[in-house]
Amino acid sequence: MKKNDKVLCFGEVLWDNLPSGPLPGGAPMNVALHLSRFDINSSIASSVGNDPKGVSLKKFLSESGLATDLIQVHESLPTSEVLVHLDEHNCATYEICQPVAWDEIKLTDQLIEEVKTSKAIVFGSLASRNQTTRNTLNELLNNDILKIMDVNLRPPFDTKEIVKNLLSKSDIVKLNDEELITISEWYQLAGTMDERIISLSGLLKLKTLIVTKGKNGASVLHMNQLYSHSGYKVTTADSVGAGDAFLAGFLAALFDGKEISQALKEACAIGAFVASCPGATPLYTKEIIRDFNF
């Protein structure tokens, strides 16, 4: 990817209310922030409420180096907050409130222009739970750009028809091993994990299918070749945002023209590093990741 090429990240921005306190989050925002740390020109399109939490989120984005001109301000719906529950292994589950501002991201002329001048769009399944945002996203996907879907099945916001529609429009899909099992069963696909990866990618005609496996690393099917990495062992602070960091690290390496095996290695490193820190967007430098157990 050329230096001036842009990646548009679309969807939720929010506050993750962890046991230790609130931290900024939302998968698309996390991906945009991590991409920018790898010198990828990224932007985030979303909506916050006309409230102090929305002001704080926009301030965080600005201070993190991300533009806020595509962050709409909703006059009646609040800024999103998510209750994060950690199990005994510090793996996170989420209690997602509704309705919130990112449920109603409007299709604006500015947003239409942004997607037309971008090389890729990163989006998830969660933000499509509401008709307004879903319609906006579907319009944006009617453009000839690289479409990268970060699956986030968050019951009860995991409607099969909505997710399958987004999958059918995607070029690159990232999901975790549990989501792979769920989605492959939607399509009546069975077999081992590797067999499911191959079958699902072929059925959806994907360029790349990425499956993260938590502490067990990840696998990538790219151009009909399967790559795997066993991951890096760390003490997990929480799993919040580790998958988003993984995706950003993989995309940054991919856009930089690196081999898939190297992109997977770097993605596992950044994912492990973020899992070892509290919250989704801990501070780090590229040098830290480069030296991370390589």
pLDDT digits (tens, 9 = 90+) for 240-273: 788 999 999 999 999 999 999 999 999 999 999 9
Higher pLDDT pick, 21 / 117: 117
Element (H, E) at 219: strand 218-222
User: How far, in Å, CA of 58 to CA of 72, rounded?
Assistant: 10
| Per-residue tokens: 9 | 């990240």
Distances (CA, A) of 53 to 23, 59, 125, 173, 185: 11, 10, 24, 31, 39
Look at 58-72, 82-96, 117-131, 194-208 and tell me which has the smallest mean pLDDT: 82-96
| Per-residue tokens: 288 | 């830290």
Q: Per-residue pLDDT for 290 more than 80?
A: no
Q: How many CB atoms lie within 10 A of CB 62?
A: 12
Q: Per-residue pLDDT for 292 more than 70?
A: no
DSSP codes, 85-146: EE-TT--EEEEE-SS-GGGG----HHHHHHHHT-SEEEEESGGGGSHHHHHHHHHHTSSSSE
What is the pLDDT confidence band of residue 102, given thresholds at 50, 70 and 90? very high
| Per-residue tokens: 144 | 């000839």
pLDDT of residue 43: 96
% of the chain beyond a pLDDT of 70: 96
The answer to whether 148 touches 170, Cβ cutoff 8 Å, is yes
User: How far, in Å, CA of 286 to CA of 293, rounded?
Assistant: 13
Looking at residue 154, the DSSP 8-state letter turns out to be B
> Residue 279 pairs with which residues in a beta bridge?
none
Q: Per-residue pLDDT for 88 more than 90?
A: no
The answer to whether 61 touches 68, Cβ cutoff 8 Å, is yes
pLDDT of residue 17: 86
What is the pLDDT confidence band of residue 280, given thresholds at 50, 70 and 90? confident
Q: Per-residue pLDDT for 3 more than 60?
A: no
Q: How many CB atoms lie within 10 A of CB 44?
A: 27
Q: Per-residue pLDDT for 36 more than 90?
A: yes
The domain ranges of the chain are 6-286
Closest by CA to 240, choosing from 10, 11, 29, is 29
pLDDT of residue 215: 86
Closest by CA to 130, choosing from 95, 146, 106, is 106
Q: Which residues touch 230 (CB under 8 Å, ≥6 apart)?
A: 216, 217
CATH class in words for 6-286: alpha beta
What is the pLDDT confidence band of residue 2, given thresholds at 50, 70 and 90? low
pLDDT of residue 140: 98
For residue 77, how far is the Cα from the chain centroid? Answer: 23
Distances (CA, A) of 13 to 102, 208, 292, 293: 7, 26, 28, 31
pLDDT digits (tens, 9 = 90+) for 144-191: 999 999 999 988 999 999 999 999 999 999 999 999 999 999 999 999
